[in-house]
Amino acid sequence: MARFMSRLWCKVESTGRYLPIVLNALLVFSITAEVSYLVLMEAPLESAEKKTEWCTIWKAMHLFAQYFMLGNITWNASLFVKTNPSIRGVFLGGDALGHGWRYCYNCETHTPPRCSHCYDCNVCVLRRDHHCVFFGQCVGFHNYRYFLTCLLFMWAGLLYAVVMNAEVFIVILKEGVTFHSVMLLLVPWIMLVSGQVTARAFAFAFIADTCVVGFLLVAAFLFFHVVLMLRGQTTREWYSTRQPYSLGLLANVREYLGKNWYICWLCPLIPSPLPGDGINFKVTGSLEPKK
């Protein structure tokens, strides 16, 4: 019985790791579907404009922009998950270990500077930043570009969804701000359960709220990691107030995004080789935390 429960728990635990990825995918595709519906069926607001040739061009441009962002999000997320950021399969060097090398008792090997052990992945990760719960993968030296680009297009996509859902707010403001309309935007679930709104109105309000909250959260996260990239830091180094590996603004961006940093964010297919190897880093400041 104990063995059966242990196997069952292992299966539940392994399946649970993919739950955030599934929820993220459902959220992204549901928002995309809702915005597509707004573009194709609801917009533009004036009925007379829906029959013009410009309306068709307008819709085509919006759909192209929307699915371009969706394609970049899914492609970068896929490459982020598939790219191995760990020390597995990496030759870490010979016997001459420089300053900053440490011994990892879990991996039973010496690890280079800025490398740390992830207990979720159960392996050391080169220039480890953090473990991304939403993708079940660590953010490290080799996959940081895909992580940051995915964040960028998620932010842009949510901003686009917020702008398109602004039609709901415009209609509400035209009819006047009432207690009913405010409650619909603040607590759509309660309004639906109590029978105060239709399922269609609830769907628009719920997705609009989700887009606004998601946009603010992703914007804050994106801003934080852009600042880290410009400063040449990882999250761990930021917490310890250390900045010993900063090479200057443009050089830091090149270290994180590669040699083609100025264009590689447009498409994950654009090659942008990283200038380093994730093992050796040029030290430009003190390795001790600032007091």
Choosing from 132, 138, 150, 211, which is the catalytic residue? 132
Q: Nearest to residue 206, comparing CAs of 221, 195, 219, 190?
A: 190
pLDDT given at position 30:
81
Task: Please state, in angstroms and rounded to a whole number, the distance separating the CA atoms of residues 168 and 197.
Answer: 14
- pLDDT tens by residue, 190-221: 776 777 777 777 777 777 788 888 899 999 99
9: pLDDT confidence band, cut at 50, 70 and 90? low
Cis peptide upstream of residue 44 (ω within 30 degrees of 0): yes
Give the DSSP letter string of 112-139: -TT-EEETTTTEEETT--EEETTTTEEE
132 is catalytic: yes
For residue 83, give the DSSP letter: S
What span, in angstroms and rounded, lies between the C-alpha atoms of 257 and 145? 5
- What is the reported pLDDT for 27? 78
State how far the alpha carbon of 74 is from the alpha carbons of 6, 63, 77, 150, in Å: 34, 16, 5, 8
Residue 278 has what pLDDT?
Answer: 87
CA dihedral 179, 185, 191, 197 (to 10 degrees): 90
- Residues 139 and 53: their CA atoms lie apart, in Å, by 46
Separation CA 142–CA 191 (nearest Å): 47
pLDDT in tens, 256-274: 999 999 999 999 999 999 9
pLDDT at residue 52 greater than cutoff 70:
no
For the ranges 55-59, 108-112, 269-273, the one whose mean pLDDT is highest: 269-273
pLDDT reading at 48 higher than 60: no
Q: Burial of 209 by CB count in 10 Å (0-12 exposed, 13-18 middle, 19+ buried)?
A: middle
Average pLDDT over residues 277-288: 80
Smallest Cα–Cα separation from 81: which of 18, 26, 31, 23?
18
Structure tokens given for 174: 């035209």
Q: What are phi and psi of 137, to 5 degrees?
A: -145, 150
How far is the CA of 83 from the CAs of 26, 76, 79, 112, in angstroms? 23, 10, 6, 19
Give the type of residue at 76. N
Work out the percent of the chain whose per-residue pLDDT is above 90. Answer: 31
Q: Which of 114, 155, 123 is nearest to 237 (CA)?
A: 114
The predicted model scores a pTM of 0.83
